Amino acid sequence: MVITAIADGIWRGVETVQDTVNETLFEPVIRLGVTGLARSGKTVFITSLVANLLDNGRMPHLLAAAEGRIVASFLQPQPDDTVPRFAYETYLGALTSKTPSWPDSTRAISELRVSLRIKPNGLLAGLQGLRTVHLDIVDYPGEWLLDLALLDLSYAQWSAQVLERIENRPQAAAFLAQAQAVDAQAKLEEPQAQGLATAFAAYLNAARDAGFYDCTPGRFILPGDLAGSPVLTFAPLPATDASPRRSLIREMERRFEAYKSQVVRPFFRDHFSRIDRQVVLVDALGAIHNGPQAVEDMRGAMTDILSTFRPGRNAFLSNLLRGKRVEKILFAATKADHLHHSQHPQLSAIMQALIRDARDRAQFAGAKTEAMAIASLRATTEDTVTHEGADLDVVRGILESTGKAAAFYPGALPNDPNHLLGPARDGAEAWLDQDYQVMRFAPAPLTLRPGDGPPHLRLDRAAQFLIGDKL
Ligand SMILES: Nc1nc2c(ncn2[C@@H]2O[C@H](COP(=O)(O)OP(=O)(O)OP(=O)(O)O)[C@@H](O)[C@H]2O)c(=O)[nH]1
Ligand SMILES: [Mg+2]
């Protein structure tokens, strides 16, 4: 018995060594980060991407798929044991059931590994056998990226910045009144700290709903399992001359530092720093519908997100990355199936103008960036109707609110993106000559041919940009 156990132990050891050698030498791993602000379409994107990699009949612009070189693709256990698994089967189930529905909102990080068996191409095609490429997809909230800026600030600096920024925002009135009323130098009373933190979180949520993106600390909006813990029980307070021991302000400062070291840094260290390719999803049509202010905010968010990927942006991060950097970043406007394809070039042009601007402002150099308009899961069909004597390009779908079929025309996007971005930059209150509508369509019931994934728009081009060169 003992001998078997030893032999078994040795055998395992050998196996493990072999596995690691195999993995690093012959089985490349691509870590693809998928992020975006709340409701931007991350969960639907990953679900449809994976379904379309497993059945790649609808991926003609992913070259390896078009050339028939993806011989097999399958889901595998992910490498990280402590990160929740992306609930692929549940989400796909919801999207493809008889009465399809969109997946529920997700609030934290999750991960999924898809492995692809690939036939090599080019000169080596005849000489080499099949290769395995692992794609580790990591879904995380874009709000967490914006926390990077906090690392450079002391509690006093952060408080001053936030209080100035929110001074005139109606959503912040209740919190500000509370913050002015407390005696920050008095001894800490926990209910008071909790009251301030709750009011501050309520402000952040209201601001986010009003379309502001600068709603950090990110975990106040997406607390996950940290809800109620001291690292989330702080708020900005006006500066005081002194901060006596055990005072409210001293404790707030301590918790702010704890948030940085125990929440922000671990995320960047354990997850962000390992990403090779990144897609940032943007609900551009939603922002355009909300008006110039929301578009300007979206531009700001894209600049801030891009600047987190700038090597040297932050000492902590440069040290962590030590020269490793994200190689490709795709900004994708999602839900393009709300537009007839005759308007897709305009939406793409708006995204391209936004990222050019974000690159300039973030002084971004390095990773290859690209912008496009996609629909992860196409919920509409196209039609042309006659309206007041003229042809109008519309999309048709089932409205989520009523369950009824409807034709929808969102408004004409300008050919020159500056006609939208200019007024947004100049602080216009409303669009001058257009209103842009949005509608929520339910996912359409699907009948898929064998080998086909769910219908989409340009998901294959997105995949080609992100991982095509590694297949
Ligand atoms: N028509 C259409 N709607 C989409 C598409 N992708 C997402 N949506 C809509 O956008 C909503 C949000 O999509 P999710 O994928 O859940 O977004 P998320 O970024 O994961 O959201 P959170 O988990 O809340 O951060 C969905 O419920 C749909 O209403 C798409 O390709 N087409
Ligand atoms: Mg989600």
265-319: per-residue pLDDT in tens?
A: 999 999 998 999 999 999 999 999 988 988 998 898 888 888 888 867 677 877 7
What is the mean pLDDT of the segment spanning 414-418? 93
Please tell me the residue having the least CA distance from ligand 1 atom 21: 39
Q: d(Cα 130, Cα 445) in Å, to the nearest integer?
A: 36
- 318 sits in which H/E element: helix 315-321
- 335 CA to middle of ligand 2, Å? 14
What is the mean pLDDT of the segment spanning 174-203? 95
Most ligand 1 atoms within 8 A of CB, residue of 110, 335, 398, 440 to mutate: 335
- 437 CA to middle of ligand 2, Å? 23
Strand order in the sheet with 277-282: 70-76, 110-118, 131-139, 29-36, 277-282, 328-333, 368-373
Nearest ligand to the C-alpha atom of residue 41: 1
For the cut 80, the answer to whether the pLDDT of residue 220 exceeds it is yes
Please tell me the residue having the least CA distance from ligand 1 atom 24: 105
Name the band, by pLDDT with cuts 50, 70 and 90, for residue 387: confident
For the cut 80, the answer to whether the pLDDT of residue 10 exceeds it is no
The minimum-distance atom of ligand 1 relative to the CA of 397 is 1
Dump pLDDT digits (tens) for 336-374.
999 999 999 999 999 999 988 888 887 887 789 999 999
Name the band, by pLDDT with cuts 50, 70 and 90, for residue 181: very high
Nearest ligand to the C-alpha atom of residue 101: 1
For the cut 60, the answer to whether the pLDDT of residue 69 exceeds it is yes
Ligand 2 ion: nearby residues, β-carbon < 5 Å: 42-43, 106
Are the C-beta atoms of residues 456 and 55 closer than 8 Å to each other? no
Name the band, by pLDDT with cuts 50, 70 and 90, for residue 124: low
Residue of higher predicted confidence among 214 and 40: 40
Q: Exposed/middle/buried for 261, CB within 10 Å: 0-12, 13-18, 19+?
A: exposed
The minimum-distance atom of ligand 1 relative to the CA of 375 is 31
**Residue 2's pLDDT is what?**
40
**Residue 11's pLDDT is what?**
42
Are the C-beta atoms of residues 207 and 153 closer than 8 Å to each other? no
pTM of structure: 0.89
Please tell me the residue having the least CA distance from ligand 1 atom 10: 41
The tokens describing 171, both together, are 């959503």
For the cut 70, the answer to whether the pLDDT of residue 1 exceeds it is no
DSSP, collapsed to helix, strand or coil, labels residue 217 as coil
Q: d(Cα 416, Cα 350) in Å, to the nearest integer?
A: 8
What is the mean pLDDT of the segment spanning 396-420? 91
The minimum-distance atom of ligand 1 relative to the CA of 36 is 19
What is the mean pLDDT of the segment spanning 446-459? 93
**Residue 16's pLDDT is what?**
43
Degrees (nearest 5) of the Cα angle 136, 141, 147? 115
What is the mean pLDDT of the segment spanning 424-431? 90
What is the mean pLDDT of the segment spanning 117-126? 79
Name the band, by pLDDT with cuts 50, 70 and 90, for residue 5: very low
367 in the Ramachandran plot: left (φ > 0), alpha (ψ -120 to 50) or beta? beta
**Residue 37's pLDDT is what?**
87
The minimum-distance atom of ligand 1 relative to the CA of 457 is 31
For the cut 90, the answer to whether the pLDDT of residue 53 exceeds it is yes
Nearest ligand to the C-alpha atom of residue 104: 1
Name the band, by pLDDT with cuts 50, 70 and 90, for residue 172: very high
**Residue 60's pLDDT is what?**
97
Name the band, by pLDDT with cuts 50, 70 and 90, for residue 77: very high
The tokens describing 216, both together, are 């950090």
- Residues having CB within 6 Å of any atom of ligand 1: 36, 38-44, 102-103, 105-106, 141, 334-335, 337-338, 375-377, 379, 440-441
**Residue 8's pLDDT is what?**
41
**Residue 175's pLDDT is what?**
97
- 38 CA to middle of ligand 2, Å? 7
Q: Find the range with the poorest average confidence among 79-83, 176-180, 224-228, 255-259.
A: 224-228
Q: Where are the alpha helices (DSSP H) in 127-247?
A: 142-146, 155-166, 173-181, 190-209, 218-221
- 103 CA to middle of ligand 2, Å? 8
What is the mean pLDDT of the segment spanning 172-196? 95
For the cut 90, the answer to whether the pLDDT of residue 64 exceeds it is yes
- 103 CA to middle of ligand 1, Å? 8
**Residue 9's pLDDT is what?**
38
Most ligand 1 atoms within 8 A of CB, residue of 44, 138, 395, 457 to mutate: 44
Q: d(Cα 102, Cα 122) in Å, to the nearest integer?
A: 41
What is the mean pLDDT of the segment spanning 212-218? 86
Instruction: Go through the chain and tell me how many residues it has.
Output: 471
Query: How much of the chain is helix, strand and coil, in % rounded to 5?
Result: 50, 15, 35
Q: d(Cα 374, Cα 59) in Å, to the nearest integer?
A: 13
For the cut 80, the answer to whether the pLDDT of residue 262 exceeds it is yes
**Residue 115's pLDDT is what?**
97
Residue of higher predicted confidence among 185 and 225: 185
